[in-house]
Chain A
Amino acid sequence: MTIERSAWPFGDDQARPRVDGARLKLTVAKKYLESALRKAISPGGVTGVVMALLFIVVTDAFLMLTKYIQELPPVSLTFLIPVVVAAMRWGTLSATVTAIGGAGTVSLFYYNPFYITGPDSRSRVLGIIAFFTVSLVLGYLASKTRSDTARALRRENEIRDLYTFSQRISAANSPAGIFEAMQQHLETLVGRKVLLFDSLGTLEAKSDRLGDVEIPAAVTEAVSTMAAAGADGPKNIVVDDHRGSAWLVRPVSTNTADFGIIAVDLGRPSEVFDELRARVIALIGDAGLSLERLGLARTISEARTREETEQFREALIGSVSHELRTPLSSILGASTVLSLAPEITGNSRLKKLAALIHQESERLNVEIQNILDASRISSNGLQTKLEWAEPADFINAALQRCRNRLTNRVVDVTLPEELVLLRIDSVLMERALGQILDNAAKYSPSESPISVRGHIESGQFVISVADKGAGLDPEDRTLLGQKFFRGSRQAQVTSGLGLGFWIASAFIAANNGSIDATSEGANKGMTVTVRLPLPMRENHEGYDGQGSVALADEAEPSRV
């Protein structure tokens, strides 16, 4: 602790470091004793002392044994091993006891304390003191390392919890999700059943450990009292739930009401109850601070806004779909009645006009449907109902839907002879393929052929739709998957919103498939390829992938 004179950079003022060094020594000693005393009364302390004594005996036995075999110079250093081990394992008290015991036995075995007056008695006493000091300091340092390690471990766990928590928060897209994550985080921290209410006293998240048990009325009451009182209200309420448990109710943070109110089940009141309560309050306080640091208040309010926007959007889409489609239904229906009426079918000019109304309202209907689909995709409202289905079924349905656009065209359809079963939502697939066929028809000359080919290729069912149309400029290809994209030349000659390919991609992705478009270049036609996963054979009960069937069919005698 003393500092070499030459190393002291501040001139002649030599007194200071020494005084400081002495003070430091004193503080260390005081701290050391304090912590040793504290440890001694704890249950772990007794084990430590017992183990320390045991250690000394073992080390002594070892030294005596070696002395028997071979006379050795004093090896007091050997005692440092049990001191360090005791300090690392059981803490300061154990280390101290080992140090004292070690020093005692060293003096007994090697220096004979009854004859310390001798020619080198001075060096012997100094040796014992030196040993004792060294082992004390070493013990203190080792036990400090031990507690530092423990603290680091605890902090690491806390950080891990906090990290899991913040990941959960970023994944949550509604206030309810955030409260759910907060509840779980607080529950992990506190280690007891936890209920979390928002600042208005509405239950937001409930402990899983609580099961289906009702929330105690006393707790709900205390929460609403606290919510009503706001910032001026009581900070802690302890209530009895009349089921043998006491609950602590308090705001998660004392600085903001945004994090809501927490209710913690403290269990049966006992003598350590006050201590437990104080610990839980401290933990909640810490948790509240870390929630503030995470900027959670803003996250919650953003989530609220997002939820409101989402609701507004849903309402808008709902009303668009209703308000636009209702009159459209009448127009389309009425136009089809007109095309049936003899007065009109007999007059070629009127017949053409009726057909025009019919076609255009149908087109409008398709565009409205596309907008609705697009908004469903954007808002993640796409729900798939995956079922075993034959690709031929949705391919035929898509061709049927597009048949008005495909009149006067040769559509060459090639499908495998054998039965192919896919795990798909065939309604979504039909819509996706409909979009692809519609694009093929839209962007190719009205009488050019279109081919639709389905085949199995390396564990996938591949559908390719090829046209002989405008194709795609290489620079447009990367843009194809984008919403509202339309090829630069296509945009000038054909109408449409450019949602088709984007919708098809989303629908196909929802079926775990992929879509790709290739073109040799402008005016060389385009091939759109859809790949859908073929399910593993063992997942098909009774289907071996070759079209033959392992289902019992001939069990009853055939009368047919």
Chain B
Amino acid sequence: MTDGDQHVLVVDDEAQIRQFVRAGMELGGYRVTEATNGSDALREITLHPIDLVILDLALPDIDGSELLERIRGWSGVPVIILSVRAGETEKVKLLELGADDYVVKPFFMSELLARAKVVLRRQSERKDGESALRLDRLVIDFAARTVELDGKRLNLTPKEYRLLQVLAQHPGKVITHQNLLKSVWGQAHVNNTQYLRIFVRKLRQKIEVDPNRPKILLTELGVGYRLSDPASRDQTRLD
């Protein structure tokens, strides 16, 4: 299922969770290392080439979000957060701290696998430095600043293009409302969510078959938006 033998670090103080996550990840073809606390996790990330960290927020020695901040201080390793706290503010905070994705407990293994796949794929693409992104029927060419749908060039306004571009830089990753508003409209407008709603609607009218049932530009309620990733289409969610 994956290219090569990718190494996943599972950080959780509950043995039961580690046990089934390990089993699930191994079924998905990953190599798994476990850590029960924050300091062990930091040591593992420093000593071994870890490709993905699955991090539980409740750790005995250090708060998960603090650990995330410390990791982000020197490493760009993808991090997926596991949390029982499902609040939207919490999710926004974690994303802004640099988490690549989050999964709320209880969750389905298939969901975690799908997210892991998207995050890892994004990571490898980043290394390749691709200049175009293909999403189903949609092709975004960053160099030429063009967008094509079914081979036909779309006429996007500068702000619509900018919005799509920001989302397309991290396909599959949730970009928070604040981040989108900051990138497209500037710092002064971070609270004008209605701008975002209006432009998302306009963009959806151009790129979606039915703007009321979007398949490409997806809403993450109370958090932000993301572009669907071909790899994550079969994912299941429970939160």
On A, residues with C-beta under 8 Å from B are 321-322, 325-330, 332-334, 336-337, 339-341, 361-362, 365, 385, 387-390, 392-394, 396-397, 400-401, 413, 415, 419, 421, 425-427, 430, 540-543, 547, 549, 551, 553-554, 556, 558-560
Contact = CB atoms under 8 A, between A and B. Distances in A.
B198 A397 contact: no
Interface of B: 14, 16-17, 19-21, 23-24, 27-28, 84, 88-89, 105-110, 113, 145-147, 155-161, 192-195, 197-202, 211-214, 219, 221-222, 237-238
A334 B197 contact: no
A309 to B, nearest CB: 25
B158 A389 contact: no
A333 B110 contact: no
Contacts of A547: 201
A333 B107 CA distance: 6
Nearest to B16: A330
B195 A365 contact: no
Nearest to B154: A560
A430 B221 CA distance: 8
A543 B109 contact: no
Contact of B20 (A325, A334, A560): A334
Contacts of B202: 549
A329 B156 CA distance: 45
Contact of B27 (A341, A362, A556): A341
A330 to B, nearest CB: 4
Contacts of B237: 400-401
B151 to A, nearest CB: 17
Contact of B157 (A336, A339, A361, A560): A560
A339 B27 CA distance: 11
B158 A551 contact: no
Given A427-B88, A541-B194, A543-B194, A553 B106 contact: no
Given A337-B24, A430-B221, A553-B157, A542 B108 contact: no
A426 to B, nearest CB: 5
Greatest chain A CB density within 10 A among B16, B17, B106, B214 is at B106
A560 B145 contact: yes
Nearest to A540: B194
A554 B162 CA distance: 13
B109 A340 contact: yes
A361 B84 CA distance: 16
B213 A396 contact: yes
B169 to A, nearest CB: 17
Greatest chain A CB density within 10 A among B89, B199, B213 is at B213
Given A413-B212, A560-B155, A330 B17 contact: yes
Nearest to A419: B201
A394 B158 CA distance: 28
B190 to A, nearest CB: 13
Nearest to A552: B159
Contacts of A419: 197-198, 201
A285 to B, nearest CB: 50
A387 to B, nearest CB: 5
A547 B199 CA distance: 10
Given A333-B20, A341-B27, A560 B158 contact: yes
A330 B198 contact: no
Given A334-B23, A415-B212, A554-B158, 6 more contacts: A330-B20, A396-B219, A400-B237, A427-B221, A547-B201, A560-B156
Nearest to B201: A419
A340 B27 contact: yes
B236 to A, nearest CB: 9
Nearest to A422: B197
Given A393-B219, A413-B213, A560-B156, A332 B108 contact: yes
Given A396-B219, A560-B157, A336 B212 contact: no
Nearest to B27: A340
- By Cβ-Cβ distance, the 5 closest A-B pairs, closest first, are A330-B16, A329-B106, A336-B109, A388-B194, A334-B20
A543 B194 CA distance: 8
A389 B223 CA distance: 12
Contacts of A392: 211-213
A339 B236 CA distance: 13
Nearest to A400: B237
Contacts of A341: 27
Nearest to B82: A329
14 contacts: A329-B107, A334-B23, A337-B20, A340-B27, A362-B238, A365-B238, A421-B194, A421-B197, A427-B222, A541-B194, A542-B198, A551-B195, A556-B158, A560-B157
Contacts of B105: 325, 329
Contact of B198 (A333, A339, A551): A551
A258 to B, nearest CB: 39
A365 B106 contact: yes
A553 B159 contact: yes
A182 B102 CA distance: 48
A322 B108 contact: no
A385 B238 CA distance: 21
